[in-house]
A and B are shown apart, each in its own frame.
Chain A
Amino acid sequence: MSAPRLLSCESLRVAYPGPDGGREALRGVDLALDAGEVVAVVGPSGAGKSSLALAVLGLLPSRSRVSGVLRWRGEPVAPGPAHRRLLGRDIGMLFQDPLASLDPVVRVGDQLVETLRALRRDGSLDAHRRSRELLAEVLLPDPAAVARRYAHQLSGGERQRVALALALAGDPALLVADEPTTALDAAVGAAVAGLLGDLVRRRGMSLLLVTHDPRLTAGLVDRVLRLESGRIAAGAATVAVVGEVDGPAGEAGPCADAGVGAPALSCRGVEVRYPGHGGRPDVVAVRGVDLTIGAGSSLALVGESGCGKTSLARAVCGHLRPAAGEIEVGGRPVGGRPRRAAQMIFQDPYSSLDPRQTCGDAVAEAARAAGGTAAASRLAAADLLAAAGLGPGIAAQRPHALSGGQRQRVAVARALAARPVLLVADEPTGSLDPDAASLLIEVLRRFRGDTGCGLLLITHDVALARRTCREVAVMFAGHVLEVLPAGAVPSHPYTRRLSTGGEGALIPPDLAGCPYASRCPLVEDACRSALPDLRSLVPGHVSRCPVTAGNPETH
């Protein structure tokens, strides 16, 4: 006869009521944990991982409907006071955001003392001494000083350690941790993960670890459960692969060649900052970027999320004012105000059209702003919509009746009706299915060929960039690392990584020197100390990597 499992859940179902029938977060989940076992629950967001954690604790919101059986050490646990009694003493919980899980107006040490006193029935406990011991156990360097602070006065890592100390105050046999490192910087998160591992081993505790980042759990976890859409999926978790395989190099420029006249876009030393709140430093999204797009030419700006490409796009369109540097569109400077010369096609098709305007009116309005009579504008609008492959009835419809792909094409028609010098497309295919996406790109190409306006395409999809534009600029951590013709072989190590499907950039970039230095396989000391200049390899191809500049083919 085997000992009963520490925790077991059978057919756990959790549903949240809502206006349209509500949502089923968990659809019959079975889970079992032995003493001292570490189980990770992974899965995409929305899969129900947090609901599972809260269900184990019995702390789901009161409006939720729960069914299923929960057993603790073999005995079924009734919902309500019986389940409540397990909290703190037998089961502890660590939440994702320590700033939200600590009482903001009570000193941290007092919260710990209060918890200790509530959980120990005997009065023989010296709560203050025990609280300092706990704080030391979670490796906080000066427990007495930390205890006197309020939550907002501690750093993220310190706060999470305090939250851990609180969870361990009752010496629970099971700790449930819901994304404990997600809200922390990578290095700090790794340290906390390590601390968790030590504590689990030393105390012989079980750990139910909910996370969406399976890499953090390597070495710690005995078993992995994958949750998808409220159910346990068969098979172990796999690491998602980011990026695509590079397609065949596109021919030079499907778009109209550069014509005479002022360049469509000229950026010099552009810097974009977002002011920090409450004593935090400013976030510098774009650091000293120089970029030029010739009249009628096209450039794709690629990079992973957070590299600054969207911020640069917004500065180019005048949606925000750069902290430094100059931007000129069609030879005229751009301040902090949106201009007709630079029209943007937004990423989200659902908010880029006025819901109260018919599509025909929206396009006609843009044509009028470009200088046309009311009648001429209406005709121009009809033509543009037809050229975008939209049927004649679309003009009278409001956006809500159209699909995402159709709306994006209306947006393109509207943008071009305003006769801009530069079209800025911010991830225009991001929310479209592949068919709609290729249709949109086709429409874009055709329109630009007809009107000869420049294109700045923002995307994380390197293959799309190379298929659509003459040149590609690569950004990382606010810097442009390389600018190359669409058909050229990438030189900079980061560009190569991107093209061949490297890891996602959850890495905090270094502040001095090349931002890729900490991950670059070819890094040299010179790269770390100062940001390398943009060097020209051949005309039209510049790169910031001094190492590969000499011999582009050997690495």
Chain B
Amino acid sequence: MSAVGRALRHDAGGRAGLILILLPLLAAALAGPLAPGDPLQVGTAAERLLAPSPSHPLGTDALGRDVLGRLMLGGRASLAVGWSGVLGAVLLGTLVGLAAGLGHSRLDRALMGLTDLFLAFPRVFLVLLLAAVAAPSLALVATVIAATGWMGVARLVRAETLALRDRPFVVAARSLELPAWRLAARHVLPHVLPLVVLAAALRVGGAILLESFLSYLGLGAQDPTVSWGAMIEHGHRHLADAWWLAAFPGLAIALTAVGHNLLGDALRDALDPRAGGRHDSPEAGGS
């Protein structure tokens, strides 16, 4: 936690990132009262495909709905799916990594073989395959993100666990013949946690981009749920006449992803071992 504080206090990038994340968050939360008109309400024929103007600052779409309002609502999908998908990936990856690092070498080989197997695929193909087996929805997207994103975390956690495993205090704990889960939870996990949090922070940006692509393909948010990716797909169909339909949602995605990446980078710099300060030093006097 102190690392997070450090990241925000000293790093301008971290502060900027935080702001860029808070903006869509607030907009998503307050979309109801703040949005001009009702973003879900289909408009009249006269209100369709209007260019940006004072009454509709970001224009309207082919069904006459206000783009700004939909933009604010759409943040909900991206943030919710991005965070939950990464959470799932990180949970799964940590479990696998801990088991591989602490367990018998046969278990380690089996789990790493499984990890390598999943890593042999371009993620998008796996995603498409999994998305094909169920009905499209945001929950599906989150699940798919978790199911295809755990491998990197597993490798990281395994490497860190293997290193920790031979540290004297962990060896001492192992010599107590504690049950594996207790050893992992008490002595390994607390030391692995900062790394895991960092890995999560660095992956949210990518998850948001993935969700937007899947929604663009029609596999994510379904009407009436609003998603930036789906808005871009809508905009693609009207690209020639109404550039604003595709442009603004993309910018929103980009800014949100940039914000998460900046925060993640700031966190990584704060946790960098070279920046010093993991090693304890004796302070108490006397013997």
Contact = CB atoms under 8 A, between A and B. Distances in A.
Touching chains A and B, CB distance < 8 Å: yes
A400 B176 contact: no
B191 interface: yes
A400 B168 contact: no
Contacts of A346: 168, 172
A356 interface: yes
A445 interface: no
A319 B167 CA distance: 11
Query: Which of A20, A350, A439: most chain B Cβ within 10 A?
Result: A350
A351 B176 CA distance: 17
Nearest to B187: A354
A356 B190 contact: yes
A339 interface: yes
Interface in A366-412: 366, 369, 399-407, 411
A343 interface: yes
Interface string B55-80: 00000000000000000000000000
Nearest to A368: B176
A555 to B, nearest CB: 42
Contact of B168 (A348, A405, A406): A348
B284 A351 contact: no
Interface in A91-138: none
B167 A369 contact: no
B178 interface: yes
Nearest to A319: B171
Contact of B169 (A318, A351, A415): A351
A355 interface: yes
Interface in B255-287: 275-276, 279-287
Contacts of B175: 317-318, 338-340, 342-344, 418
B284 A365 contact: no
Contacts of B6: none
A360 B133 CA distance: 53
B174 interface: yes
Query: Which of B174, B190, B280, B285: most chain A Cβ within 10 A?
Result: B280
Interface residues of B, number: 28
B284 A401 contact: yes
A251 B186 CA distance: 44
Interface residues of A, number: 41
B177 A400 contact: no
B173 interface: yes
A544 interface: no
A403 B279 CA distance: 14
Nearest to B174: A338
Contacts of A405: 287
Nearest to A337: B174
A344 B171 contact: yes
Contacts of B276: 19-20
B177 A340 contact: yes
Contacts of B280: 350, 355, 399-400
B287 A436 contact: yes
Interface in B72-131: none
B287 A350 contact: no
A414 interface: yes
Contacts of B283: 400-401, 403
Contact of A403 (B166, B168, B173, B282): B282
A425 interface: no
A354 B176 contact: no
B173 A354 contact: yes
Contacts of A353: 169
A352 interface: yes
Interface string B18-35: 000000000000000000
A369 B176 CA distance: 6
A402 B284 contact: yes
Nearest to B191: A356
B166 to A, nearest CB: 8
B273 to A, nearest CB: 12
B171 A354 contact: no
A366 B176 CA distance: 6
Nearest to B190: A356
Interface string B158-198: 00000000111111111111100000001100110000000
Nearest to A417: B176
A406 B287 contact: yes
Nearest to A339: B175
Contact of A402 (B171, B186, B187, B282): B282
Contact of A400 (B171, B178, B186, B281): B281
Contacts of B191: 356
A414 B172 contact: yes
A355 B168 CA distance: 11
A20 B276 CA distance: 10
A348 to B, nearest CB: 7
A525 interface: no
A435 B178 contact: no
A19 B277 CA distance: 10
Interface in A1-51: 19-20
Contacts of A350: 279-280, 282
Interface string B186-215: 110011000000000000000000000000
Nearest to A439: B287
B159 to A, nearest CB: 18
Contacts of A435: 287
B270 to A, nearest CB: 13
B275 A352 contact: no
A348 B282 CA distance: 12
Contact of A340 (B167, B171, B176): B176
Interface in A319-355: 319, 337-340, 342-344, 346, 348, 350-355
Contacts of B285: 403
Nearest to A389: B287
Query: Which of B166, B170, B177, B287: most chain A Cβ within 10 A?
Result: B287
A217 B129 CA distance: 71
Contacts of A402: 282, 284
Interface in A196-212: none
B275 A351 contact: no
Query: Which of B170, B177, B279: most chain A Cβ within 10 A?
Result: B177
Contact of A406 (B178, B190, B284): B284
A342 B171 CA distance: 12
B254 to A, nearest CB: 35
A436 B171 CA distance: 24
Query: Which of B173, B190, B276: most chain A Cβ within 10 A?
Result: B173
B164 to A, nearest CB: 10
A439 B176 CA distance: 26
Nearest to B279: A350
Contacts of B190: 356
B177 A339 contact: yes
Nearest to B285: A403
A58 B167 CA distance: 40
Query: Which of B169, B170, B285: most chain A Cβ within 10 A?
Result: B169
Contacts of A365: 173, 176, 178, 186
12 contacts: A19-B276, A338-B174, A338-B177, A340-B176, A350-B280, A354-B187, A356-B191, A365-B178, A369-B177, A405-B287, A406-B284, A418-B175
Rank and list the top 7 A-B pairs by shortest CB-CB distance, nearest first: A369-B176, A338-B175, A400-B280, A352-B168, A346-B168, A405-B287, A354-B169
Given A353-B169, A354-B187, 6 more contacts: A317-B175, A319-B166, A352-B168, A400-B280, A406-B287, A418-B176
